[in-house]
Every structure is written in structure tokens, then in C-alpha cells.
Amino acid sequence: MIRLSTKGRYGTRLMLNLAQHYDNGNGHKAVILKNISDDERISIRYLEQIIIPLKINRLVKSIRGAGGGYILARKPEDIRLSEILHALEGNCCLVECVEDESFCEFIETCPTFPIWKNATEILKGYFDSLTLKDIVGMAEKKSKQGKTKAR
């Protein structure tokens, strides 16, 4: 299967959760992992592991101690999905050789290399076109439609 790892999926939901709780005015109400864990039904322990690379790549800021938690390092409209996946996965390429050409010595003659490379570019392009704000917006719109229908 062509698969996005759980790190990528859970990390995206984590960031999206932070985006939904982002306070545009003051931007200082940190969200604790416990809340994200409850919302997203992902164990805190695993979230702790996942958030490390997000912090290293300066996509989130941590506030330690009581009243602490995490907040987005930038506004939701300034964070792209591609950045999140890149932080979590190191790269978002379908196969190792696309990112690191020294990975395989037969790239020059490999007939499949250009295929995976193109496919990777296409995917990257899509993920690069979406910001956290876009995605939150899509979800809100969807939820409204749902309510209308349910009536």
C-alpha cells in the first residue's frame, strides 16, 4: 500500500487541533496534550513523540510548567501541510531514492525512477497548496453542510 505513516496522519490532526484553538488576537492560550489526546483519541505518549519533530522544526512552541502546553509557532495561514509532513517524515517522497539519489546505484537506468519522482512532485504540489487555515475552513464548511442536511 502507498501509505502515509501514523506519524504524518496523527501529526496533521495534532496541528489542525492547535489551529482550531489558535487565538488570533492574543495567540497565547496554550493547548495541553491531554486535551488533544481526548479530542483526537491518540495516546498522550504517542503525541509526545510526534510533537518533538514539530517543535524542532519550529512549527509549534512549547510552554512548560503549570498552565503550559503548546501553541502554533505561526498563524494557521502561514503553515503549509507540506511543512508538517516534511517535519514528521523527513521527506514526503514515495520512495527513498527520490529524495536521496545515492540510495540506489541504478537510478540512471531505472525505468521506474521517473515515475515515482513525478508522482512525488504531484503530491508535494498538492500538500504545498494547503495551509492549516485552508483545511480548517474546509472542515467548517463541511460541518455546516452536515447540519443543514440533518435538519
Cross-strand bridge partners of residue 61: 71
What is the grid cell recorded at 19?
Answer: 489551529
Q: At CA 71, angle to CA 6 and CA 11, rounded to 5?
A: 5
Site residues (CB under 8 A) for a second copy, limited to 115-134: 115-116, 118-119, 122-123, 126-127, 130
Q: Strand 60-63 relative to strand 69-72: parallel, antiparallel, unpaired? A: antiparallel
Q: Which residue, 16 or 33, is less far from a second copy as judged by CB?
A: 16
Q: How many residues bind DNA (CB under 7 A)?
A: 28
Residues 26, 109, 148, 151: which binds a second copy (CB under 8 A)? 109
Decide if 19 contacts 76 (C-beta within 8 A).
yes
At closest approach, how far in Å is the CB of 110 from a second copy?
8
Q: From DNA, a second copy, none, which one binds at residue 66 (CB under 5 to 8 Å depending on kind)?
A: DNA
User: With binding defined as CB under 7 A, does residue 115 bind DNA?
Assistant: no
User: With binding defined as CB under 7 A, does residue 55 bind DNA?
Assistant: yes
Site residues (CB under 8 A) for a second copy, limited to 42-101: 81, 85, 89-95
Alpha carbon distance 83, 15 (integer Å): 11
User: With binding defined as CB under 8 A, does residue 146 bind a second copy?
Assistant: yes
Number of other residues whose CB lies within 10 A of the CB of residue 131: 20
Helices in 21-91 by DSSP H: which ranges?
33-40, 44-56, 81-89
- What are the residues binding DNA (CB under 7 A)? 1, 3, 5-7, 10, 32-34, 42-46, 48-49, 51-52, 55, 62-70
